[in-house]
Structure 1
């Protein structure tokens, strides 16, 4: 969904197997020095995994012919793996993850992955060679390849997948195609149907602007009508809609902008100045390529999943209005399903209610690993 450039301007025990080693390039991330370097050094030291059976590594994996950056962190290799699939497209959340992820790492081995042509992966391949490969199916298949790699590398039968925003479309597609790889699927800010999503978001934001007697917002929003156009998503119009969605708290509840969210990436131990520039460039490149392709993307006809499903939904989210996902889940047949509502959140529950998010992961998600859980 809304990538960070649009929002800002407008708003996982096991040894590596030989087969896996052939697709992995080990790296030692060392962001260049800039004014944020002292802060990054403090965060890196504070967040360092020091437990004897822990894992803290980054590497480049070749997925679908494209080199992509992967970060893996956890306090105990015996824990189940949780693959976090970021939003956007290209709104990487690895640079943000230090602010909320550390408690998760006591219960899971958490994998952050910069998708093709996103963030640190952007400079690993020729962008123009990537452009024709940027399709929903390719992102899904990249994720499946990564899961297979993680299973081999860390000796796991299955893993958890958490998809956020755009990443929830990727994650849900993985759950539909390869449920055998997953303990459960977790959707946060779940996307079900792009046309419904944009239609409801626009209507809600316009109504808020009118109630607020915000003449500028009403003029700008009415100026992009009809939004969205049938079978077409216009990125410039989406930018205007997101500007006011963010202003009215549809990204962060009771927040007028997204600076607090985006700027914490400057203290990420894995992201230096060059990485942040790649983040910006990849957002512009990927959104302009992908957004028009998403107009007809829908999971409305997905009525059965052979894997447990848990949705983390922010009550005040207008980036991905939650009732669409709630209604879809009510129709879905699955081994188990539930919604965890975040009453003081919009689109970013992991940031807005970090304690509640960790509690839900610990009590509603992790037990689904069942007999594969290590002894306590």
Structure 2
């Protein structure tokens, strides 16, 4: 009987020890899962109206982790607002940045019937205000600035004047010199059209001015406009479809989209031939990365090559998209995102 009691007691003690170790192991496992330095990512998606330069303007901020660096995108045009395209073209960048699209004054969601007179300096001042707003909103000392075409011109000047606010400047097919861009693309169209018997008569009396009035139509004929490949012939239809699917644009925004481009472009057109980054941004004291399509004749690559050669910057490079024209970030968004992230990672940009 005593032997049985001792054996029963021994079994009980063994069970108690097993339960103790099991409990301890579980506690350690749960503790490891709750280490204070392991933080779940906090996504952000905000669409807000902000007073910039005294005018109401709209800003969309999206990213999968609010701790990521801020990337401010300056759209082209002038007036070709980007909030309506943001979710489609910039989705792959949202894993790596807080991607900010801003519809510049007079365009997209920021359209206004009572737009005052503007100059490029108006947009430079607006850009700086947006940058300061984003730095305060996201509690960051610096951001990444990226501009396309007209936005690339404005962005280069802002980065030249205020480098202390930026990790880097990224230009996509920027306007480097307005007059040179117009003349080189005009000569290209004349040469190409004269090789085609059906087009040669149409360019016989084509002047530089009349060419510029229909530049988009001429460039698209040869796949050297906004798109080189799939959407060179249905650019408007494709972009309208993207905009229509956007939850960030209302029907009113879509109806006023083109008037916003026409109105803004008409105000800036007198300044186009005066745009010259060789003079206005000869030095940018942050890393500078350019992305350009080989078939871009809105802003031909040969001018960009000369500018980068002359530009003073701690880091500078051009990255080419062999199958694209003026908008590689629209034509190959996944490839563009991969190349951009690769360039940034290879330069350890955010460790500086």
Q: TM-score normalized by structure 1? A: 0.78
* Structure 2: distance between partners of 1:111 and 1:308: 20
Q: CA deviation at 1:261?
A: 3.4
Structure 2 stretches lacking a partner, 5+ long: 1-39
* Structure 1: distance between partners of 2:348 and 2:326: 25
Q: CA deviation at 1:112?
A: 0.2
Contact 1:184 1:368 in 2 (8 A): no
Structure 1 stretches lacking a partner, 5+ long: 1-50, 229-235
Q: 1:204 to 1:304 in 2, by over 3 A?
A: same
Q: CA deviation at 1:237?
A: 4.3
Q: CA deviation at 1:190?
A: 1.5
Q: 1:281 aligns with which of 232, 238, 259?
A: 259
Aligned to 1:56: 45
Q: CA deviation at 1:344?
A: 0.7
The farther-off stretch of 361-370 and 107-116 is 361-370
1:98-109 equivalence runs, <5 A: 98-109=87-98
1:1-376 equivalence runs, <5 A: 53-123=42-112, 127-128=113-114, 130-132=115-117, 134-215=118-199, 218-225=200-207, 227-228=208-209, 237-250=211-224, 251-254=226-229, 255-259=232-236, 260-301=238-279, 302-365=281-344, 368-371=348-351
Q: 1:340 to 1:117 in 2, by over 3 A?
A: same
Residues paired across the two proteins, number = 307
* Structure 2: distance between partners of 1:262 and 1:360: 27
* Structure 2: distance between partners of 1:275 and 1:339: 35
Aligned to 1:5: none
SS at match of 2:324: coil
* Structure 2: distance between partners of 1:208 and 1:58: 45
Q: CA deviation at 1:122?
A: 0.8
Summarize deviations over 1:229-268 as a string: whole Å, max 9, x none: xxxxxxx642322211112111211323413234321111
* Structure 2: distance between partners of 1:167 and 1:297: 12
Q: Taking CA–CA contacts closer than 8 Å with sequence separation of 6 or more, which of the two structures ends up with the larger relative contact order? A: 1
The farther-off stretch of 350-359 and 86-95 is 350-359
Summarize deviations over 1:43-95 as a string: whole Å, max 9, x none: xxxxxxxx851110011111111110000000001110000100001011221
* Structure 2: distance between partners of 1:92 and 1:220: 32
Contact 2:74 2:151 in 1 (8 A): yes
Question: RMSD of the TM alignment (CA)?
Answer: 1.7
* Structure 2: distance between partners of 1:143 and 1:149: 10
* Structure 2: distance between partners of 1:82 and 1:166: 17
Summarize deviations over 1:196-249 as a string: whole Å, max 9, x none: 01011111122121223332xx44444341x15xxxxxxx64232221111211
SS at match of 2:128: helix
* Structure 2: distance between partners of 1:214 and 1:161: 44
Contact 2:52 2:130 in 1 (8 A): yes
Aligned to 2:15: none
Aligned to 2:7: none
Q: CA deviation at 1:102?
A: 1.0
* Structure 1: distance between partners of 2:88 and 2:198: 34
Q: CA deviation at 1:371?
A: 2.7
Contact 1:246 1:257 in 2 (8 A): no
SS at match of 2:94: helix
